[in-house]
Structure 1
Amino acid sequence: MNALLRTLGLVPFFTQQLADAAVLQERVGRVMAVHRSGSTVACNSGDRVVELSSALRRKVAIARPTVGDWVILDESLSRIETVLERKSLFKRLGAGESNELQPIAANIDTLFIVTSCNEEFKESRLERYLALCAEAGAMPVIILTKADLVEDAETYVRRARKTKAGVPVEAINALDPASIHRLLAWIDKTSTVALVGSSGVGKSTILNTLAGRVLASTGEIRDDDKKGRHTTTHRELHLLPSGGLLIDVPGMRELRVADIDGAIGAVFDDIDTLAAQCKFADCRHETEPGCAVLRAIETGALDSRRLSNYKKLLRENALATASLAEKRAQGREFAKMVKEVKALKQKKGEP
């Protein structure tokens, strides 16, 4: 295998999808950035700004290439012809009124979920990210920044660990390079890591420090509302001098979920375990007698906030998934109608 492609993270999972060895040497590349005018793809012949084939342009957003995808270019090396099967995909439901799933980053091995040791820290937001990470098929690591600005950073570490049993938590000072370099323990030579979290929590600073050069502008969390300014405006994959790749995902104010039933259960497995002990199989954990979940809240074994967020994510996911299913059904009906009209025209000899 070519050394450059291996450095970019090409592993057997992807090469096994290629029937022609010549394609591997000449036409396989990785999407490093997506722009309005096209995608930057790194391949053996160098970086190329390419377009999508007409077939890919007709596909739904989730099927089109995103940052981190491995793709096959056409023979002219000017268009993306095929997107290889992904081993992981971090996605979200479109913001606003959109009911379309949008790809954020593909083939991510580890997700650095970044938050701050201040009022910006919220367990419910972490649980949302953890559910999306579980659905994506990546390993989560929670990164707590600004640990040097609080008297007891360990309190935030304990709170973060309670969001999901076994999740690794790193508390760092984003302005201390030695502190940030501890994160390299989670990045191996061929792995790809994505940085996610609200704007202003230090993602760009982490990226710049690990890369050894300025790749993204940095900003601060505002003192009045603890919300950050957007400093990263697009997603781009960067090679690290120590090996591995890193992507800083722009801060997302709205992070809606859909099609992640199993992932929610994976994050809230403690509640699911308790629910199995309830008196009634259809217990809603509200006022029912013999509810093991409510009993755990009464004894302090379970935080009521956690149960509330669990129910919120389940409701949101159910509603969004139903909307997606309806939209997909409408799309199938429309495609069927178009096909029938074309068949009728052919039968009549019309162009």
Structure 2
Amino acid sequence: MKTNLYVIYGGKSAEHDVSLKTAQTVINAVDKAKYDIHPIYISPQGVWSSYGRVERQIDHYELLRIKCTGGDVATGMGGLLIRYFASEQPCVAFPVIHGTNGEDGTLQGLLELLNVPYVGSGVLASAVGMDKAAAKRLLAEAGIPQAAYMTVLRHEWAEAPDAIVARIEEELGYPCYVKPANLGSSIGISRCADRPGLRDAVHAAFAYDRKLVVEREVLGRELQVAVLGNEHPVCSVAGEFEKEPEFFDYERKYMSGNLVQRIPAQGTDRVHEQLRDYALKAFQVLDGAGLMRVDFFVTDRDEVFLNEVNTMPGFTKISMFPALWERTDGTTYPQLIERLIGLALERHQHKQSIRYGREAI
């Protein structure tokens, strides 16, 4: 009997289109002789729709965008839950929603309630990993070096913007980066070189979140490491994109298609050892599962600073996570997907031994 694989994509997120690209790549990589693939689309308004079973390659990610006509969130979600998740047939979910309402623990919580195995981290790791401010506090407690930063809430800015600007200038200085706390793919992020730029960046970032992180700029290269596993995670070699030193925004990251990967990244043995140690520590501190991409800055003096973690990194044609594993141990796209599904089933099986009642053992 085949296993039903539910690829959940799209989502009520600013990273909606990135998710479509990831879904296309994942669907095309899955062994269709082993899995019945059922893509589940969530519209930008949050309405759930079924794409139908996929039996061949998806030629373009735009084909996965379903036009939702009528219906509301509860109706669409309820119908699909009954249609797919009430079956006795073996199943596993593969959420590839990036950003809010998918990568942040909300979807993971629903899948936990349904008792459905799913790829990736659980509720806690997903929520904390998505919230840059919360993640930074936990990682700092673990002794992992990071850039100096501040957290700014919307109501604080509304009540005392001048005081916050003064504090940022005193504690962080320019240049600095303003980021929505709960978003990825470089959306809503600005590099600020002066006070007017800072004010504009804060206003722009608050369009995406009620909480911002402001960071001191670290001059250095951006290196990425991929972590794979559950209780005993393993780490890939480090990689980087060859790019101009200016800010790497959403358009250049996903749409230009002109990026060149350097894998393994240049660096001393000591630097690469630190990257691996910090990446594995971050994965374990956040209670990660399945996969995680950990991003670092490395300065000219070989200082290593953790930038951020990504609990559901992309799988587009230029994505670093699959490329890192292919260059580390030869793992291909289909093999990587199979390993991730296996990790999801392994973790789910372990959870089934947990007692939720007070019966005597």
TM tier, smaller: under 0.3
Relative contact order, higher structure (CA 8 A, sep 6+) = 2
**TM-score, structure 2 as length reference:** 0.27
